[in-house]
Amino acid sequence: MSSSTAPVHAGELIRKFEKRTARVGVVGLGYVGLPLAVEKAKVGFQVVGFDRNAARVASVNLGVNYIEDVVDAELRDLVLDHKRMEASSEWGRLAEMDAIVICVPTPLTRNLTPDLQFVEAVTREVARRLRPGQFVSLESTTYPGTTEEVIKPILESTGLREGEDFHLAFSPERVDPGNKRFTTRNTSKVVGAAGPSSLEVALAFYRQTIQEVVPVSSSRVAEMVKVFENTFRSVNIALVNELAMLCDRMDLDVWEVLDAAGTKPFGIMPFYPGPGVGGHCIPLDPHYLEWKAREFNFNTRFIALAGEINRRMPEFVVGKAMRVLSDRGLGLRSARVLVLGLAYKKDVDDARESPGAEVLGLLVARGARVEYHDPHVPRYGDGRLDLRSVALTESALDLADLVVILTDHSDVDYAFVLRHARLVLDTRNATRGLKADRDRLVLL
């Protein structure tokens, strides 16, 4: 025991979690952190959300929600009526917390290497106030080794020891934004820790809000599980994207092929092609593993290949748009194109790393006159483009030489789109099952 205080027994912390008297700090109030903070507050914990974004802190403190997966009324009630949740940007308050969960971004540098600056900055703030008896958990996606090689040394530089004075775990967030069936609560959660007593504490913490918690033998295993899951998706999406490009060349309908293949009751899983991959996870996380593998003189060839194929898709979609226009005697230059959907996937408001945004940029660069409609993304700006979502009216559809469906949001009436558009390129098979007006429809 390195500090002067008495050893802090894991049992004390575990009892606080079980009685839900612990104070929980969630750092990073974004797509991951805000829903997590709400779940913790809902079961009775006193929660403080920390963020450096003053607008987000103010919004939470007014009970005003800004993340689609969070129920507006739940946040409002927890903050304003029950007073079980608040937000702050005062790092000093970290000292009050029994548990601190870190959910800040883990982006890539321009050279596609891990950028842990946010995780490291937050960990240093935690270290400055670290006291015996605290539990720290990292939920940001990262490469295997981060918790032990980056977080633990910063926290132990205080003189306090993991497993004796404080407890440390890694538990990846698996949330699937927009998924109504699987939410934070009923998605099983993998937990790995820096040592056995940290694991016990971590399991007690997560069992209060998650139906099934899956312990693994170390934080490195838990980190690997998360990057593997996202790599699995990236590779399988790349496989069906490659199939889509081949089917296009062979004049086969890739959707019919996939639907029929999907009738096999074993040995196959549904993955669908599209304009590419987007969001904060699939395009980025596999590169974390790719980078770490190099330290072991190992080349992750599937990751590189999948990334290459998926990144080619926006260009392929624009090429196909040019072909379908030219089949009707039109050129892309100065054609009017209406893009349907900019979010990176259905029913979310997140256009980060969105392939739709890339397709939009390519269409503009080739001289098309582009508008977009996305009920979840009212405005889109990326430094070069600054556009607002237009209303999906008969005249907006009829005025367009081509409508390109890039995101298959549930709240768009695709029968209406087919009825009033002159020509539609559907990259998501959003028009599946519609019988009328298919003569003006081309699938990816």
Q: Which residues bind ligand NAD (CB under 6 A)?
A: 27-33, 50-53, 56, 103-106, 118, 121-122, 140-141, 173, 175, 177, 280-281
Furthest-apart CA atoms within the chain: distance in Å: 82
The residue nearest ligand NAD at its CB is 30
Q: Are 320 and 425 in contact (CB under 8 A)?
A: yes
Map tokens 């399988």 to a residue: 236
Q: Which is nearer to ligand NAD, 122 or 425 (CB)?
A: 122
Q: Are 281 and 141 in contact (CB under 8 A)?
A: yes
- Alpha-carbon gap, residue 393 to 422, rounded angstroms: 13
Q: Which is nearer to ligand NAD, 166 or 344 (CB)?
A: 344
Least distance (Å) between residue 116 CB and ligand NAD = 10
DSSP state, 162? B
- Alpha-carbon gap, residue 3 to 7, rounded angstroms: 8
Q: What are phi and psi of 345, to 5 degrees?
A: -155, 175
Least distance (Å) between residue 85 CB and ligand NAD = 15
Q: Which is nearer to ligand NAD, 5 or 179 (CB)?
A: 179
Least distance (Å) between residue 70 CB and ligand NAD = 12
Q: Are 310 and 234 in contact (CB under 8 A)?
A: yes
Least distance (Å) between residue 230 CB and ligand NAD = 8
Nearest Cα neighbor of 199 from 217, 183, 180, 178 is 217
- Alpha-carbon gap, residue 321 to 368, rounded angstroms: 11
Nearest Cα neighbor of 97 from 180, 3, 205 is 205
Q: What are phi and psi of 111, to 5 degrees?
A: -95, 20
Least distance (Å) between residue 276 CB and ligand NAD = 17
Q: Which is nearer to ligand NAD, 209 or 429 (CB)?
A: 209
Question: Catalytic one among 281, 306, 325, 339?
Answer: 281
Q: What are phi and psi of 134, to 5 degrees?
A: -95, 155
Q: Which is nearer to ligand NAD, 53 or 186 (CB)?
A: 53
Q: Which two tokens stand for residue 122?
A: 């937050």
Measure Cα distances from 168 to 14, 146, 219 in Å: 13, 12, 9
Least distance (Å) between residue 318 CB and ligand NAD = 27
Render 348-416 in DSSP notation, one character per residue.
----TT-HHHHHHHHHHHTT-EEEEE-TT-SEEE-SS-EEEPPP--HHHHHH-SEEEE----TTS-HHH
Q: Are 70 and 349 in contact (CB under 8 A)?
A: no
Q: Which is nearer to ligand NAD, 20 or 233 (CB)?
A: 233
Using DSSP, state whether 300 is helix, strand or coil.
coil
Helix, strand, coil tally for the chain in percent (to 5): 40, 15, 45
Other C-beta atoms lying within 10 Å of the C-beta of residue 405: 28
Q: Are 20 and 45 in contact (CB under 8 A)?
A: yes
Is position 247 annotated as part of the catalytic site? no
Q: Which is nearer to ligand NAD, 23 or 161 (CB)?
A: 23
Q: Which is nearer to ligand NAD, 335 or 348 (CB)?
A: 348
Least distance (Å) between residue 306 CB and ligand NAD = 17
Alpha helices in 276-378 (DSSP H): 285-295, 301-327, 355-365
Q: Which is nearer to ligand NAD, 46 or 123 (CB)?
A: 123
Least distance (Å) between residue 87 CB and ligand NAD = 10
Q: What are phi and psi of 124, to 5 degrees?
A: -65, -40
Task: Name the pairing type of β-strands 424-426 and 441-443.
Answer: parallel
Least distance (Å) between residue 94 CB and ligand NAD = 11
Residues serving a catalytic function are: 281
